[in-house]
Structures are given as structure tokens and as C-alpha cells.
Chains A and B, each alone.
Chain A
Amino acid sequence: MTEQTLVVATPEATKPVAAQRRRREVFSKHRMSFVTWLYLYASLLIIAAVVLLPLLTTAIGGFKTLGDLRVNPFGLPAQWVWSNYLDILGSTRYWQMLANSLIIAVLTVVLTLAVAAMAAFTFAHVKFFGSGFLLNYFLIGLMFPVATAILPLFIRIRDLGLLDTYWGVVLPQVAFGLGMSIMLFRKFFQNVPHELFDAALVDGCGYIRYFWHITLPLSRPILATVGIVAFVNSWNSYLLPLILLNSEGNYPWPLGIMVYQGEYSTDWQLVLAFITLTILPTIIVFFAAQKHIVAGLTAGAVKG
């Protein structure tokens, strides 16, 4: 233990030479033996295969005929059948589903960002009676899944006349994401240097102008994080739309895919093509913006 603290303490003093030498020694020890190397990559490759195989067979399965799929579910198609994919891409239902999902997700993100950022700003900067209590009130939302209140929620949405509308799905989604979003925003706002705030107030800049002209422009990273979490949750959500939407024309893709599977349950090749096309946007966006998405989803979780 004492030795440990000693080593931890030394680099500051003897940094350039000794530390470098020590680091080199450590790294040379890290150089893996062939057996370690083999064990490492074999394990990683096996697990990667288990992850990728179902996805690849789904995508490739969509190019097969049903007969081909039956005798050869995991190989390449005997003959590449493009019509499975092209028929779906040419159908309105596919694009309608994606459009519904997109509209619901965008509305959810915009409303979440606006409502949560304003509330969090108040909690971070304004001292008022009962602020601690109110903050805890919102944090209750962190613990409970939507399912705890799903039936009363259905009745409320129905009585408000919002059943089978986009807003009927958006509002509960925003509400159940508020706890997490407010918490993330508040933490970020509190870390904005206070000198900025003091200076602005002294110069006669009020809270609202400060929020709009200083806080928000400084908050792009946290807006992205909260936005990504809200978007992914909404894009993938199934339970709320399932209960709150009735007409197929309003279904987002997770519902649409289930309906499609129900209709073509014996034609796996079509279902596979349909699944592939519906998860394709997610996968493209994931690889295009992987850094932000991984950071957003895990940061959201870690700080939550």
C-alpha cells in the first residue's frame, strides 16, 4: 500500500525521464504472448459472430425464396431475389410507418428539450421556496416504468380526445422522460461558470435573455445527449403506441412490423426483408454518428 502511494506520487517530481522509462517497461510487459493474443481474439470473434450472425442472416434471408430459405437458412442465396426488398420499398405502408415514427420522435425530442431545459434552468439558477421538493417530484419519474400507470394513462388520453393521434403518444413519452432529462440538464447548467452568470446579471441581462443567449448556445453537448436519448427511446417505443394508436395509418414502425409479420407469418423471406429495411435507418444512423450515440446513451445512463 505504501509502495503504491509512493509510485503514484513520484511522476510529478521525476516526470520526464524516469516516468517514461517506467512506462516503457510496463508496456513491454503488456506485450502479449501469442497464447494470450489467440485467446483474446478468438473470444472476441466468437462473440462478434454470435451478435452479427442473426443480423446478417436476416438481411441475406430477405434475398431468398422461401424454398431456398428452408433448405439453406444461413448460406448465401442460391439466387438473389431482389423483388422482396423492392416490393416493400415501393409500398406506401413502409414509408408511412417510417414517417409516423419520425414525426412522433421529432415532436418528442423538440418538446422534451424545450420543457426540460427550461425547468432545469430554473432549478439550476433560481432560488425559490420549494425548489428542492419540486426537483424531487420530477425525479420520481426516474424510477417508474410506463407500465405502472398504463391503464389510467389510456383513459386520460381517451378523455382528452387524443387517442389515435401523434400528440397522444408524444405527451406521455415526454412526461416519462422528463425526470432523466431535467437531471442531465441541471447538472450541466450548474457547471457553467458562475462568473458568466453574475456578470450578465450585473450588466442588466435578465434570466430569460441569459437562458436564450448564453445558456443554450453553451449547452450543445447536453442538448445532443438528451435529444439522442429521447429520439432513440421514441423511435423504438412499442408499448405506448400499441395502446394509444388504433389505426394502421398512424402506426410507427415497431407496430407496423408486427402487423406485417402477422399478415405474412408464413413468408419468412418477406418478413426478413421487412425487418431489414426497418432496422436499416437505425443501423445507418448508428454508424454515421456512433460516437455521439454511444456517448449519449451511456452518459445518459451513467449520470442517471
Chain B
Amino acid sequence: MSQTMIARAAGRGGSNRIGGTLPVLVLFLPPALLVFTLFVILPMGEAAWYSLYDWNGYGLPEKFVGLKNFEVLFRNGAFRQALTNNALIIVVSLAIQLPLALWLATMVSHRIPGAVSFRLIFFMPYVLADVAAGLIWRFVYDGDYGLFAAIASFVGVASPYVLADKNLAIYAVLGVIVWKYFGFHMMLFIAGLQSIDKSYYEAAEMDGATRWQRFRNITLPLLAPTIRLSVFFSVIGSLQLFDMIMPLTGGGPSNSTQTMVTFLYSYGITRMKVGFGSAVGVVLFVICVTLAFGYKRIFMRND
């Protein structure tokens, strides 16, 4: 209705006058279009193109190798480890971090004394840079100086070098991920909980529903959109995990904490293997597209 009025009003103003439709289109859209095309769309397309070449980044890509880069990639043990780790990070995010965040959200969304302070404390790690969080925990895990060293010496056993142990390092990394991100998901859930109409709870309580029944039959179903959102962020976040791994382990020991992006960094970027590295980017791209299509419905529903 008002759209047509606008169109009519704009038409009356005439598109040749300053402030008409044409100047807006010509002035307002191109900057965004240019920046976005140049630095997002073209590079993504080029990644697909370069991934078919063996190229060191100088001159033009000429040595066409077809799908060889992908073949080498999937045969690479470190890359397969990276894929496994990314999957593991997603599983831990969903199985541990999400319930933890939800549990805490239900606790601090009550009007209890100190609730606001607890929320802020829990959210704080999220605003810190991943790099800083990684370095802090590198100290905590340190076998000579850190928390683990202190506990070990207190108990009287040899101190463990958690980050240097290829069986333990990934779990240490997972711990830091949960430490850093649970507060963000908690805030999402608090926002979700606050949008639930309190009268449902009052009604349920009058009917004698137990705490668990209220949670199971009111909170959980009404929180479904928030939960899906939280899942989405966990998945996308874990797929691009890089900053935190670098200070903690750099992908080691013996590639046991490699993720797709750390693999891309150490095998593609530092060695300037543009074709091979682009192939990793393409795999990441395909995984994102697949997941996004799976989630498209949710976004449509939210809109």
C-alpha cells in the first residue's frame, strides 16, 4: 500500500531531479556492490578456478591439474584429521556447550540477586580475542608454570604437558572453546527466554506442573528458534576455527589439533601453494553451502 504511494510520489518528483530514484541507485548502491564483488564474490570464484591449477601465485596459473589437488587433499592424513576435529568440535558444541548455556540461562534469567553480574562474567570471555584466550590457556595448561603443573605438584605426580600430548591436546582445545563461547550462547538463550510469555508458566504452575514439566513442555518448545540459531552459530563458528588454535598448539602435536583453516594456513598459505590451498577453501565452501541449505528453512521461518 504505502509502497505504491512512495513509487507514485517518487514518480511525481521526477527521477531526473536530485533526490529522485536514479541518483539514489547510482550513488548509494555501487560502493557496496563494488567492495562486496571485489573482495568476497570474485575471490570465492577464483578459489574454485585456482583449485584446478598447480600454482605458486606468481604470473598466471597455467599448470592445469584438474581435480588432482582435491585427490591429494583427501589422501592427506592431516586434512582428514582436520575434518574429524571440526566434526568433533561441532559435536562438543552441541552436546556440552549448548546444554550448559541453556542451563545457565535458565538460572540467571530469574530475578535473583547478582544475576546481572553473573551474566556479564559469563559473557566476558566472548568479547576477548581468540588469540588472547588461546595464550591465556596456553599458560594454564603449561606443564611447568600453569594450573596443571600446580595441581600435579600438589598431588605429587609428574606434571602433564597437556598441549604436547597428541592424545590429549584436542580435548584441551575443546575446553577452551567451551570456556570462550558458552557465554555467548547463554546470552542468546536469555534473550529467547525473555520473549516467552510469563503467563504460560503461571498457568502451568497453577496446574501443578513440576519444574521439569514446565521446562520440557513450555521452555524447550518455545525456545526452539533460539536453539536452532545457537546450533547454527556453533556449526559456522567451529568450521572457521583458527585464531584460538594458533597460540595453543598451532595444529600440533603431529597434526592432532589441526582444523580445516589451520590446515589451509600451514599447508596452503605458508608454502604459497595457491592451488592446493584454494582446494581447501572450496571444500570449506561446499560444506558451508550444504549446511546453509539445510538451515535455509529456519531462516525463512525466522524472517
Interface residues in chain A, defined as those with a beta carbon under 8 Å from any beta carbon in chain B:
3-4, 7-8, 11, 22-23, 26, 29-30, 40-41, 43-44, 47-48, 50-55, 57-58, 61, 69-70, 73-74, 114-116, 118-119, 121-122, 125-128, 134, 137-138, 140-141, 143-156, 171-172, 174-176, 178-179, 182, 194-195, 197-198, 201-202, 204-211, 232, 235-236, 238-239, 243, 253-254, 257-258, 261, 268, 271-272, 275, 278-279, 282-283, 286-287, 290, 293-294, 297-298, 301-302
Contacts and interface: CB of A to CB of B under 8 A. Distances in A.
A278 to B, nearest CB: 6
Contacts of A283: 124, 127-128
B207 A143 contact: no
B135 interface: yes
A254 B132 contact: yes
A235 B129 contact: yes
B264 A257 contact: no
Contacts of B289: 143
Contacts, number: 316
Given A238-B130, A238-B243, A298 B46 contact: no
A70 B149 CA distance: 9
A279 B180 CA distance: 14
A138 B277 CA distance: 25
Given A115-B32, A156-B43, A261-B135, A236 B205 contact: no
16 contacts: A7-B202, A11-B199, A26-B201, A54-B137, A116-B32, A121-B24, A144-B288, A145-B239, A145-B288, A149-B44, A149-B47, A152-B50, A156-B39, A236-B128, A287-B120, A298-B191
Given A144-B285, A261-B247, A302-B191, A254 B179 contact: no
Contact of A122 (B25, B124, B128): B25
Contact of B123 (A55, A194, A257, A294): A294
Contacts of B268: 151
Among A26, A147, A261, max chain B CB count under 10 A is at A147
Contact of A143 (B13, B47, B288): B288
B24 A4 contact: no
B229 A302 contact: yes
B19 interface: yes
B271 to A, nearest CB: 11
Interface stretch (B72-80, B91-99, B140-148, B160-168): B140-148
A8 B2 CA distance: 35
Given A73-B147, A201-B13, A297 B43 contact: no
B206 interface: yes
B187 A294 contact: yes
Nearest to B141: A54
